[in-house]
Chain A
């Protein structure tokens, strides 16, 4: 079998596997599939989170499985595994220069200096990571593809073909931005083949820089070469195999080997480095500029205060989320949590969580609520931004009884919009749906004189902040659906000591009567 076909089979397999995981990330189909496998294989995720958190979270250790072959063989990920690369390869072939005349294809695959942009992006993102702002997810291909599938493609397809991916239609705030961004990146393949992979991809840049050390490399025998440039015809990485190979750009697609009419090109263990350019061609001053931009991103983003005292009440994080600054160190915006959420409550934020928090998950109680006995988002999170907490730990029972439940926020009444409080109308749906026991929402019976002079007895609801866990089902089910009469805001969340509402964390047994204890 030709190696090109082996590669195509590999690409097809991984692309299908990626789509399969995306589709089965649904409560109906869950069987313990490793749905975050691609994210866990992604060494940029592991390395960048190791920089921000000084740890490698659970399954991220799998990234070694990808890092090691890269150190041996080069960027095989880009053209053998990466589903996003495959998407660009296929769309480029269909709509771009992939099927153009031979000469044009050769010209389209020559190296251009714009391809160093991805290294500047990587340097900027790593610089930001050293300050504690994890931004690789904006452009990391796996994060980007997962996010696009979750928020735009699957819900969009489900609108055209109802009930294919969701029992009930899902909605995602700002899906159109993410969707059009994907389309724009795909469309750029018309201008430059594999535009994203060659110009923007920070994972490609990372693997490219790593390739400097790989033992097996493409090697051209200058004695056999007849300078026909046919090796460029199908070169995916634009790595100049016709002259000095740019190892950092090479996707190891092997097309050049098969296209060479004189067998001058081979894949060799430890070839002579004189015949190639081993490291990425990035001038030092530009690298510094990339680093400074990353530092500025952190500085300006953090200075806006969104992760500190000026935090937005709508930034209600999923259960098990770590404290906000650490959240920004861990969340890669892959939106896997949003995909697995069974109620559609999780949404990609836009600017609610600040510049740094773009596309990180927040709860929107208009679209859903946090299901009491569910910790799927934490199970799916590959980086521990949402820790893999258990139901017992989430609800504060059993061994976790002393520390109490995990709270996401606190519900507050808006009396002016509440039917029994201001419209002489019985309601208390909120109390009915409140899932805690005892209920965090309770009501008091009052008899009032109606406008027409007749008495009416109804129940008026209250929130007990020591019991409220901020799940938001009260807000979700409130009959005042445009802006509910009870709304959850982020205050009171257990993950942050600074954002708690009650001194004792709402644990009613917290105040100890020490005077009764034996001294």
Chain B
């Protein structure tokens, strides 16, 4: 190597030497450190990675044996009948305190008008939301992950109008609002879950219509939680009764309301003709979904509870009591 007049290391200043050699050394050091810190040493088996997910807290209140756990109200319109049912339970103040953030879960699965009873009736949502507001809730959230297009479902079902009217926070099932859920269910163990409303909610109320279902016989308050899940839900039909009973494990609501003012008696869960709907005029509210659904199936739909496998699964697993007559219940008229 020949050194010219300005060549060689001697030809550059100490400062430049430090800067240039330092930059190179830093890059070498950075590359080695970066490579080693990012190094994936071990393989994994795609699809079989260990899954972790959130565990949902219970929103249920401590049991109060003195107060009824279930109320059955008969009446002619949603508002007064729902008020009567909640009143029989001791009023909304029993469940909702001042400052609570309340998530109301309607069933908005389909893009259908209210009269077809495939979705939660807007009058039912309005009645429950008003009671919650009167009890002092600071915020009311409404969310569902429908089967049909979400915007169409909330519009056609009339629930969007109620949300606007009463200033409820309507949460659409946007992709970023789901997180993985972990559950020790019979079949449901890891699934993507509509988590967003539950990040804020302190109380949860399910408001479900009472509907015939082609596969699992009936969709009531337990089946309503189906709308909180995302992903490939069409697989649920492979083990529908296990899944529905798992919902009773997944969600411990503060209160459920089964709207039996009108009942979809056939061609469920979608219905489609007014002749599929029967006027019954009853609302059931309670803290035990299994008891409420048992009443709904045998008394509102008038069917044999023995065939409703998911109720028996949930009962046998200790997730509720299918013998609603054993519960502390109250029957009233609006």
Contacts and interface: CB of A to CB of B under 8 A. Distances in A.
B164 interface: no
B216 to A, nearest CB: 14
Contacts of B34: 50
Nearest to A387: B43
Contacts of B318: 519
Interface stretch (B21-29, B114-122, B148-156, B266-274): B21-29
Given A56-B38, A68-B28, A72-B24, A320 B46 contact: yes
A271 B7 contact: yes
B43 A269 contact: no
B20 A268 contact: no
Nearest to A327: B46
B46 A321 contact: yes
Among B9, B43, B186, B242, chain A packs the most CB atoms within 10 A around the CB of: B43
B224 to A, nearest CB: 20
Interface residues of A, number: 62
A384 B43 contact: yes
A502 interface: yes
A458 to B, nearest CB: 31
B46 A322 contact: yes
Interface string A374-405: 00001000001001110001000000100100
A214 B23 CA distance: 9
Interface in A280-304: none
A372 interface: no
A497 B47 contact: yes
B176 interface: no
Interface in A177-213: 210, 213
Contact of B317 (A55, A263, A519): A519
Nearest to B51: A497
B45 A50 contact: no
A272 B12 contact: yes
Interface string B14-53: 0001001101100110011011101111011111100000
A268 B24 contact: no
Contacts of B21: 215, 270
Contact of A515 (B35, B45, B238, B316): B316
Contact of B46 (A387, A502, A513): A387
B275 interface: no
A223 interface: yes
A501 B2 CA distance: 72
Interface stretch (A28-36, A59-67, A233-241, A439-447): A59-67
Nearest to A54: B38
A510 interface: yes
A58 B2 contact: no
B235 A500 contact: yes
B185 to A, nearest CB: 8
A494 B5 CA distance: 69
A104 interface: no
A506 B7 CA distance: 72
B12 to A, nearest CB: 6
A71 interface: yes
A2 interface: no
**7 closest residue pairs by CB, A with B:** A494-B47, A515-B316, A495-B46, A503-B235, A388-B43, A221-B4, A387-B43
Given A64-B31, A210-B27, A384-B43, 18 more contacts: A50-B35, A55-B40, A56-B35, A58-B41, A61-B36, A215-B20, A221-B2, A223-B5, A224-B4, A268-B8, A270-B9, A270-B12, A271-B7, A389-B45, A403-B48, A502-B235, A502-B238, A511-B242
27 contacts: A61-B39, A63-B35, A64-B35, A68-B28, A210-B27, A215-B24, A223-B4, A266-B7, A267-B1, A268-B7, A269-B9, A270-B21, A271-B7, A272-B6, A322-B46, A387-B45, A388-B43, A400-B48, A403-B48, A406-B46, A406-B47, A495-B47, A497-B231, A511-B186, A513-B186, A514-B185, A519-B317
